[in-house]
Amino acid sequence: MSLELFDLAGKTALITGSSQGIGLALARGLCGAGAAVVLNGRDADKLSDAAASLRADGAKVDILAFDVTDHAAVRAAIDGFEAGTGPIDILVNNAGMQHRAPLEDFPPDAFEDLLQTNIASVFHVGQAVARHMIARGAGKIVNIASVQTLLTRPGIGPYAATKGAVANLTKGMATDWARHGLQCNALAPGYFETPLNRALVEDAAFSDWLAKRTPAGRWGRVEELVGACIFLSSAASSFVNGTTVYVDGGITAAL
């Protein structure tokens, strides 16, 4: 049956930055498709709470706490999990941060933090996991990009730069690793109600502007990212490589 193409039973997925928001929603969605999940973050209490909420629904969940910006820590954690627990079949590089400021006043340390968290982490975790996937001849990597991969607005130029880099690094991963049996793609959310966007969600003027700017006329719900993530994580996308899938209510399609 065609639905079997989307079945993730027997697969293990690592989702970075998955104690809340989009990462946790994607973890829950992959569990619903049959996968076991490995939650990642730096806050042990948040990770434990997130894991408990998934286990309450019958999910198989592990926790792997490491700093995605620390190359040595990433390698140690990934290699240790692969050796002691089992293979990581799916990687969702979701860890990210935002900082808003006029470009002429943007703090250099905030710019560096964005580079490390939003793009260097994709390299660190992607490389560590891919080395094992290459040896097995199979694997799925889903990098979380953004509507700001294509668009930007005042105050978020550096963030947009990192998300543009995520899309191009995804192309590089596909170019190098497709021949080894890996599918590497990016998932680009539009404007979704998340803790990262709480200030914007609560800004009535911004929400009104967004509703008028987006053909769908509203904020996205994190659950609406799950279908695309399952597709990119499953056999259904076996010949999809190096692409960016926008889930944005049509905002990149309209002026």
- Residues across the chain: 255
- Torsion angles phi and psi, residue 212, rounded to 5: -80, -30
DSSP 31-59: HHTT-EEEE--S-HHHHHHHHHHHHTTT-
> Cα-flanking dihedrals φ and ψ of residue 90, to 5°?
-135, 135
* CA–CA dist 96, 150 (Å, integer): 17
H helix or E strand, kind and range, residue 141: strand 139-144
Give the ranges where the chain is alpha helix by DSSP (H): 21-32, 44-55, 71-84, 108-114, 121-136, 157-177, 198-201, 204-213, 226-233
Annotated catalytic residue: which of 159, 177, 191, 192?
159
Q: Which two tokens stand for residue 233?
A: 């994580």
Q: Collapse the DSSP code of 91 into the 3-class scheme (helix H, G, I; strand E, B; otherwise coil) and give the result.
A: strand
Among residues 247, 119, 255, which one has the least CA distance to residue 188? 247
- Please check whether residue 109 is in contact with residue 158, taking contact to mean a CB–CB distance below 8 angstroms: no
Most distant CA pair in the chain, distance: 56
Is 191 in the active site? Answer: no
Residues acting as catalytic residues: 159
